[in-house]
C-alpha cells in the first residue's frame, strides 16, 4: 500500500507542479514545512536563520499573484556560505555571525526570479571545512550528518524542505547526501555562477544541490543555466554503459559499502545495463594527496585575511589547513595540478567505453559522534578532476543508517549524468509516488 504523502514530503518538482496546476497552494506547502521544522529543528539543528512568518507571507503573496516561473511558490534552503539579502551570512564562523549582505548570490536571485521562496540559511561547517556546526543526522541524532553542507542535507532528509543549495570543495555535497540518505548533485566545475558564494579554493569550489528526487536537479539546473541542453545518452536506443570503479581507496571503505556497490552493479546488469569494471590507473593513486595540496595552497591565499586578523577565533583544524597551505611551494602546487591534468586526460579515454562510472559515495554509513563530519576520501579525487557527481541512496549500514553509491560522468556531461542517475535510481530503489 502506497503511503500518503503530506505536503512537506513532496519533492521540489512535485511541489512546483502541484502549485502550478492549482492542486495545492504555496501557503499549504509552507505551513506543512513550518510545522515539520517546528517539530524537529530543536533536535536536528539544520538552520542558522529562518523567518517562518516572512516565508508564509511570501507564500500567500505567491498564491495571489500570477506565476513568475517554474519554481513559483516553492521553498528552498540556502547554505550559510551563500549570500542572501533576507538573512545574514556567517560562513560558519563567530566573527562573521550576523553579517548582512546587501545582495543575493546569483544562484539565489535566479531562483527567486523563477518564483521560489528562500526559507532560511542552513548550517555549514566553519568556512565549509571540517569544524562541525550544531546539526545532527536526522536518522540518528547521535551521528554526524556529514559536512560541510550539513544543514541543507539534514533539512531535506528530515522533510523540512524539499531542496537545499550546497557546495563542494572536497566532499561537502556528496558525503552529507550519502550520510543523510538523500540525493546530492555536484555539478561540473564552472557550471554555475559563484558570485555571492564564499571562496575557499577557486579551482575546486563547486555549487550543487541536495534533494529527495533526482528530477529536482534537472529542474534546478534548468533555472540556473537558462535552458537544459539535449542529452547525448539515449537510454531507449541503447542500454546504459556503466562501469564499477573501485579506485585506490576501495579497501579503506566498509565491507557494507563495498557490498552495496557490487550489488548495485548486479542489479543494474539484470535491469539491462551494459556493465563492466575499470582498472585504476597509477596516476589516480596520486589524486587524494594532490587535492589536499591544491586545496591547502588555495585556501591559504583565499582566507589569509581571516587567518591574519582572527587567528585566535579559528578552529585548530582551519588554522592547520592555512598553515599547511602557506608551507606549500608554488612548485609543489604546480606538480599537483600536473598530476590532476594527467589523470583528467586518462579519464577521458576511460569514458570511451563507458557512459557512467559507479563508485563509493562515502566510506560507509555516518560515523557516531558530532565532533567530526566523516572522511572525504571518496570525493577528493573526483572533485579535483572537476567532473559532475551524483550520490544516490541505496541500502543501509549495520546501524540502520543510509548508504549510497556515487555516479560520475565526464567533465561537462551533467545532463547525461542526470539522465543516467534517474534510470539508476529507479532500478535500485523502485521509487513510487
Cell numbers given for 208: 550543487
C-alpha 196/C-alpha 79 separation (Å) is 12
pLDDT of residue 430: 81
141 vs 143: CA distance, rounded Å? 5
Predicted confidence at residue 242, as pLDDT, reads: 98
C-alpha cell at 241: 554503459
DSSP string spanning 114-148? TT-EEEEEEP--GGGSSS--S--BTTBTTB---SS
Tell me the sheet residues that pair with 404.
393
Which stretches of 57-216 are assigned E, i.e. beta strand?
75-79, 117-122, 163-168, 183-186, 206-211
pLDDT for the residue numbered 275:
98
Q: Tens-digit pLDDT profile for the chain (433 aa)?
A: 345 579 999 999 999 999 999 999 999 999 999 999 999 999 999 999 999 999 999 999 999 999 889 999 999 999 999 999 999 999 999 999 999 999 999 999 999 999 999 999 999 999 999 999 999 999 999 999 999 999 999 999 999 999 999 999 999 999 999 999 999 999 999 999 999 999 999 999 999 999 999 999 999 999 999 987 777 888 888 999 999 999 999 999 999 999 999 999 999 999 999 999 999 999 999 999 999 999 999 999 999 999 999 999 999 999 999 999 999 999 999 999 999 999 999 999 999 999 999 999 999 999 999 999 999 999 999 999 999 999 999 999 999 999 999 999 999 999 999 999 999 999 999 843 3
High-pLDDT (> 70) share of the chain, %? 98
- Which string of DSSP letters, residue by residue, matches 362-386? SSSSPPBBSS-----HHHHHHHHTT
Taking residue 301's Cβ as centre, other Cβ atoms within 10 Å add up to: 13
> Does the reported pTM lie above 0.75?
yes
Sequence-ordered strand ranges (E) for 295-369: 356-360
Q: What is the pLDDT of residue 251?
A: 97
Residue spans of alpha helices (H) in 246-286: 255-270
Question: Distance between CA atoms of 205 and 277, rounded to whole angstroms?
Answer: 29
- H/E element, 396: strand 389-396
Q: What pLDDT, on the 0 to 100 scale, is given for residue 68?
A: 82
Omega before 109 within 30 of 0, i.e. cis:
no
From CA 223, how far away is CA 292, in angstroms rounded? 33
Cell of 357: 562510472
Looking at 132-239, list the stretches that DSSP marks H as alpha helix, in order from N- to C-terminal side: 150-157, 174-180, 214-225
Going by the DSSP 8-state scheme, the letter that residue 147 receives in this structure is: S
CA atoms of 346 and 132, how far apart (whole Å): 36
Residues contacting 91, CB < 8 A, separation 6+ = 80, 81, 124, 126, 127, 128, 198
Distance CA 377, CA 191 (A): 24
Distance CA 42, CA 62 (A): 29
DSSP state of 71: T
Grid cell 510545522 — which residue?
A: 35
* pLDDT of the residue at 432: 37
What per-residue string of b and e applies to 308-328 under the rule 16 or more CB within 10 Å gives b?
eeeeeebbeebeebbebbeeb
pLDDT score at 413: 96
For residue range 350-359, what is the model confidence (pLDDT) as tens digits?
Answer: 999 999 999 9
The sign of the torsion formed by the CA atoms of 235, 348, 285, 376 equals negative
Q: How far apart are CA 372 and CA 130, in angstroms?
A: 7
Amino acid at each position: 500500500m502506497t503511503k500518503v504523502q503530506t505536503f512537506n514530503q513532496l519533492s521540489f518538482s512535485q511541489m512546483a507542479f502541484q502549485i502550478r496546476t492549482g492542486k495545492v497552494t504555496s501557503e499549504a506547502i509552507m505551513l506543512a514545512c513550518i510545522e515539520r521544522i517546528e517539530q524537529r529543528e530543536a533536535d536536528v539543528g539544520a538552520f542558522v536563520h529562518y523567518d517562518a512568518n516572512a516565508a508564509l507571507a511570501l507564500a500567500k503573496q505567491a498564491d495571489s499573484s500570477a506565476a513568475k516561473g517554474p519554481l513559483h511558490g516553492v521553498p528552498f534552503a540556502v547554505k550559510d556560505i551563500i549570500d542572501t539579502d533576507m538573512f545574514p551570512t556567517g560562513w560558519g564562523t563567530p566573527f562573521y555571525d550576523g553579517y548582512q549582505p546587501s545582495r543575493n548570490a546569483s544562484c539565489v536571485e535566479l531562483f527567486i526570479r523563477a518564483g521560489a521562496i528562500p526559507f532560511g540559511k542552513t548550517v555549514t561547517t566553519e568556512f565549509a571545512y571540517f569544524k562541525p556546526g550544531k546539526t545532527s543526522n536526522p536518522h540518528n541524532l547521535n551521528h554526524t550528518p556529514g559536512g560541510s553542507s550539513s544543514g541543507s542535507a539534514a533539512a531535506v532528509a528530515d522533510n523540512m524542505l524539499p531542496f537545499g543549495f550546497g557546495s563542494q570543495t572536497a566532499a561537502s555535497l556528496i558525503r552529507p547526501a550519502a550520510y543523510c540518505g538523500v540525493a546530492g548533485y555536484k555539478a561540473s566545475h564552472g557550471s554555475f555562477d559563484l558570485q555571492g558564494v564564499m571562496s575557499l579554493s577557486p579551482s575546486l569550489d563547486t555549487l550543487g544541490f541536495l534533494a529527495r528526487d533526482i528530477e529536482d536537479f534537472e529542474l534546478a539546473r534548468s533555472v540556473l543555466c537558462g535552458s537544459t541542453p539535449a542529452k547525448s545518452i539515449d537510454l531507449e536506443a541503447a542500454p546504459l554503459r556503466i562501469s564499477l570503479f573501485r579506485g585506490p581507496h576501495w579497501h579503506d571503505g566498509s565491507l557494507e559499502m563495498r557490498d552495496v556497490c557490487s550489488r548495485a552493479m548486479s542489479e543494474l546488469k539484470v535491469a539491462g545495463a551494459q556493465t563492466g569494471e575499470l582498472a585504476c590507473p597509477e596516476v589516480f593513486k596520486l589524486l587524494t594527496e594532490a587535492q589536499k595540496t591544491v586545496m591547502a595552497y588555495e585556501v591559504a591565499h583565499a582566507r589569509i585575511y581571516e587567518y591574519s586578523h582572527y587567528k585566535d577565533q579559528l578552529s585548530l583544524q582551519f588554522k592547520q589547513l592555512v598553515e599547511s597551505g602557506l608551507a606549500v611551494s608554488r612548485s609543489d602546487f604546480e606538480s599537483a595540478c600536473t598530476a590532476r591534468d594527467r589523470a583528467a586526460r586518462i579519464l577521458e579515454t576511460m569514458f570511451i567505453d563507458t557512459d557512467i562510472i559507479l563508485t563509493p559515495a562515502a566510506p560507509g554509513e555516518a560515523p557516531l559522534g558530532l565532533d567530526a563530519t566523516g572522511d572525504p576520501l571518496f570525493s577528493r579525487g573526483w572533485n579535483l578532476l572537476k567532473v559532475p557527481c551524483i550520490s544516490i541512496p541505496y541500502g543501509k549500514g549495520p546501524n540502520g543508517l543510509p548508504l549510497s553509491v556515487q555516479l560520475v560522468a565526464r567533465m561537462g556531461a551533467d545532463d547525461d549524468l542526470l539522465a543516467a542517475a534517474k534510470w539508476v535510481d529507479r532500478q535500485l530503489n523502485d521509487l513510487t509516488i
